[in-house]
Amino acid sequence: MEEISPGLENVYIKYTDLTFIDGNKGIMRYRGYDVNELAEKSSFEEASYLLLFGNIPSKEELKDFKNKISENLALPPYIHEIIKNAPENADALGIMQTALSALSETYINYQWKRDNDLKLIPKILGNTLSIVSNIYRIKNKLPIKDPVFDKNYATTFLKACFDKDVGEERSMAMDSALILYMDHEIPASTTSAIVTASTLSDMYSSLTSAIAALRGPLHGGAAESAYKQFEEIGYPDNVETWFNKNILQGKKRLVGFGHRVYRTYDPRLKTFKKYADELAETENQKKMLEIAKKLEGLGVKNFGSKGIYTNTDFYSGLVFNEIGFPLYMFTTLFGLSRISGILAHIMEYVETQERLIRPRAIYKGPGEKKYMQVD
């Protein structure tokens, strides 16, 4: 008998050389390199180059890659207008989705060739940095402006948002976050991009599909939901009462716990938790961190034996907030981080498989009926 796989769980749609995950042992690597080591020692540009080109860049290759990104930070005026004219209450990720979709308008009959793809990628990375920084600016009633490249991708992004240097530690935390969220095999957003790319649509349209999927709270919105959970608890002394009343009684889901892939701690959690500890300065940030740690302890105590542990979204929102971003930007920062990984996957799919993704459905409706015309 034919059966479906709900949520496409354990359905494999491609071979990949990009990201290796062992969910039982808590291992995650980009092309063989441990993600936490890359987050500590590498940079967003190096890790992006690794995924996209297949190797850690030489000094000259890295310089050239950075230069090409910096040459593409200026957005076309019509994209400025799209961002500027977004409704005041517009979803930040929705604005990003609209801007990427608008950029796809000039790519009619895009030719998928590796040379074309690799030339377009720095342009996309530069465009996306400018889109997201200007979304933050417009939301904070700051004038639209094209960023100026400074040191690296993360520092350029933060200066473009805040008009100031936020310090080396926060820049390093942002760089690490961009690397840790860069890829995660093929979750919903990357799958959406691959489906679009399999039709031989263009890169910007494929990214638009990914961002649309990322907007859902079960995927990209998890960091926002976890942070809202801490806000709802309010104070560290409330954690146990809230947990017993809401989680143990099944009234709510413990956000930031459990994962479709992992049966142990999410390996990316280690670095996010480290930065959450190091960057907490204000009383509110320290309070939220204490709430998170107490809640994590209860979660592991009650659910760890079932293979349900803390995932990366549990602490990433705290880090984004400590860097200086409000809640409504968390998912958009995730979107910015994921661009290189999505591009690497769609290139890999089109170059190696180039097969239209067209699944089937098992029909469960009524049998044949005769049409009776309405009198």
* Whether residue 219 lies in the annotated active site: no
* Whether residue 259 lies in the annotated active site: yes
- Please check whether residue 137 is in contact with residue 161, taking contact to mean a CB–CB distance below 8 angstroms: yes
Phi, psi of 151 (to 5 degrees): 70, -65
CA distance 68 to 79: 20
- Please check whether residue 222 is in contact with residue 255, taking contact to mean a CB–CB distance below 8 angstroms: yes
Q: Which of the residues 175, 184, 202, 259 is marked catalytic?
A: 259
CA distance 129 to 375: 60
Tokens of 244: 């017993």
CA distance 328 to 320: 11
- What contacts 358, CB < 8 A, 6 or more positions away? none
| Ordered DSSP codes for 296-343 | HHHHHHHHGGGT--B-THHHHHHHHHHHT--GGGHHHHHHHHHHHHHH
Tokens of 172: 């390093």
CA distance 232 to 200: 45
Q: Which of the residues 175, 184, 313, 345 is marked catalytic?
A: 313
For 92, what's the count of Cα atoms within 13 Å in the CB-facing half-sphere?
Answer: 25
Tokens of 372: 């009776």
Phi, psi of 323 (to 5 degrees): -70, -30
**Which residues are tagged catalytic?**
259, 313
